[in-house]
């Protein structure tokens, strides 16, 4: 990849992140109260999160098949689609732990980062702690791999 | 929820789906924010790290703009500092252990009809729901 291609790739990724953030803001998912109201099944329930996911999947599911029919991505070396793996204890335990944190703060990674960008001590604390949590897991469970072995990308994860 | 509110919400979701599609088409990767954040934090990972950092920056910049352009969309961050830290640690650790989050599993994985992602999504929604129930309706810590 030439320097120009690398710069273009980075600029395009910035744009993707910005569009994602826009979606979060427009959908109200950057507001933890709305997210918690969805999880609060026994209280004043707000179905918004379900609508957001339906909208997102409704667009992404059909389009991703069209995209994957191409030979290669526009700015990357190859498609990195997560490998098929069985549903295991790590997946379920991790999801369970993530859900608890989500229910406590009302933030998952994307909205947390957007809210931190807006300032405010709480989301910034959340994001810093989230980074620490990521690094703790890496330190405890993830052996360092040579970049070539995974193509420099966490191909073993689903995302 | 009003009809306008429902449409706006769904359109926001569609925009998220669009960005995930863009990211896949351009960079060939899943738009799982937990994975992208991990990549941004992981040293010596080659050109993909710049992509990860840029994506995170894009999210951050939108937040900054939203602070002035649409502050009502951000809401009041009510958890205490201690809760925010605990929440962050659990989310960071859990998304790595579980290989994904609401965008990685909930949007991208389910869009691929991945049973793993369906299982993960059901699980984190369940524990999220239980957590909120315990905090709001049992421990009296309603927000």
Rounded average pLDDT over A52-74: 96
**Which of residues B52 and A142 earns the better pLDDT score?**
B52
How many whole angstroms separate alpha carbon A101 and alpha carbon B32?
Answer: 17
Q: Could you report the per-residue pLDDT of A86-131, keeping only the tens digit for each?
A: 899 999 999 999 999 999 999 999 999 999 999 989 999 999 999 9
Statement: residue A3 has pLDDT above 90: no
Q: Please tell me the distance in Å from B109's CA to the nearest CA on chain A.
A: 7
Cβ of B79 within 8 Å of Cβ of A106? The answer is yes
Which B positions 80-109 lie with beta carbon below 8 A of chain A? 81, 83-109
- The predicted model scores a pTM of 0.92
> What parts of chain B have a pLDDT lower than 70?
44-45, 76-79, 140-143
Statement: residue A53 has pLDDT above 90: yes
Mean pLDDT of chain A: 89
Statement: residue A143 has pLDDT above 70: no
* pLDDT for the residue B139: 77
| Burial state string for A45-66 with b = 16 or more CB within 10 A and e = fewer than 16 | ebebbebbbbbbbebbbebbee
* pLDDT for the residue B44: 63
Q: Please tell me the distance in Å from A83's CA to the nearest CA on chain B.
A: 10
Which residues of chain B are within 8 Å of residue A42 when distances are taken between CB atoms? Answer: 133, 136-137
Cβ of B27 within 8 Å of Cβ of A73? The answer is yes
How many whole angstroms separate alpha carbon A137 and alpha carbon B41?
Answer: 12
């Amino acid at each position: 990849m030439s320097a120009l291609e690398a710069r273009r790739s980075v600029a395009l990724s910035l744009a993707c992140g910005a569009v994602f953030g826009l979606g979060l803001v427009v959908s109200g998912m950057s507001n933890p109260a709305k997210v918690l109201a969805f999880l609060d099944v026994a209280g004043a329930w707000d179905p918004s999160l379900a609508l957001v996911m339906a909208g997102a999947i409704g667009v992404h599911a059909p389009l991703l098949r069209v995209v994957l029919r191409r030979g290669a991505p526009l700015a990357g070396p190859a498609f990195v689609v997560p490998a098929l793996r069985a549903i295991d204890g790590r997946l379920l335990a991790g999801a369970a732990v993530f859900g608890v944190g989500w229910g406590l703060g009302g933030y998952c990674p994307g909205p947390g980062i957007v809210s931190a960008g807006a300032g405010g001590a709480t989301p910034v604390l959340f994001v810093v702690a989230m980074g620490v949590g990521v690094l703790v897991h890496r330190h405890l469970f993830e052996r360092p791999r040579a970049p070539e072995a995974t193509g420099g990308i966490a191909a073993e994860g689903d995302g | 929820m009003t009809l306008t509110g429902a449409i706006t919400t769904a359109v926001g979701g569609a925009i998220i789906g669009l960005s995930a599609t863009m990211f896949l088409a351009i960079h060939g990767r899943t738009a799982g924010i937990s994975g992208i954040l991990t990549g941004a934090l992981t040293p010596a990972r080659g050109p993909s790290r710049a992509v990860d950092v840029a994506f995170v920056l894009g999210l951050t910049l939108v937040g900054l703009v939203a602070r002035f352009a649409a502050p009502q969309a951000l809401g009041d961050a009510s958890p205490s500092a201690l809760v925010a830290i605990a929440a962050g640690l659990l989310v960071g650790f859990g998304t790595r252990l579980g290989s994904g989050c609401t965008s990685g599993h909930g949007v991208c994985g389910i869009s691929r009809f991945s049973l793993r992602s369906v299982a993960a999504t059901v699980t984190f929604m369940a524990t999220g729901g239980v957590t909120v129930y315990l905090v709001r309706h049992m421990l009296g810590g309603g927000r």
